[in-house]
Amino acid sequence: MLHRQLQNALEEIFGSQFVQDALEQSERAQEVIYDRPQDFRQAVLGFQRLSFRDEQQRYAEALEPELGVALICALLDDPTRELVWELGLNYI
């Protein structure tokens, strides 16, 4: 249930097509997380500090698409979440 609510919220913020496309690119997301952990960290922390939907949507629009895909997969895709955990990127 919580997973579905999170996905719905991300679809409102990023757009349902972007979320669907992102989940189909989980391997690419994992590469981005592995190759650019600091950029990924900044993307996550920047997103987490926002409270209002309009702020989150503006942030998502300005976010580099690869980092948006990585963020979505880190939240919704089990293998990507495992990679985040294995790399010690526990701030998500």
Render pLDDT for 39-73 as a digit per residue (tens, 0 to 9): 999 999 999 999 899 999 999 999 999 999 999 99
Q: Where are the domains of the chain?
A: 2-86
In tens, the pLDDT along 5-43 reads 999 999 999 999 999 999 999 999 999 999 999 999 999
Q: What is the pTM of this model?
A: 0.91
C-beta separation of 67 from 32 below 8 A: yes
d(CA 84, CA 17): 24
Please give the structure tokens belonging to residue 43.
Answer: 């993307």
Which pLDDT belongs to residue 27?
A: 97
Q: What gap in Å lies between CA 81 and CA 90, rounded to an integer? A: 10
Token digits for 26? 């989980």
- For residue 91, what pLDDT is reported? 65
Whether 92 shows a pLDDT value over 70: the answer reads no
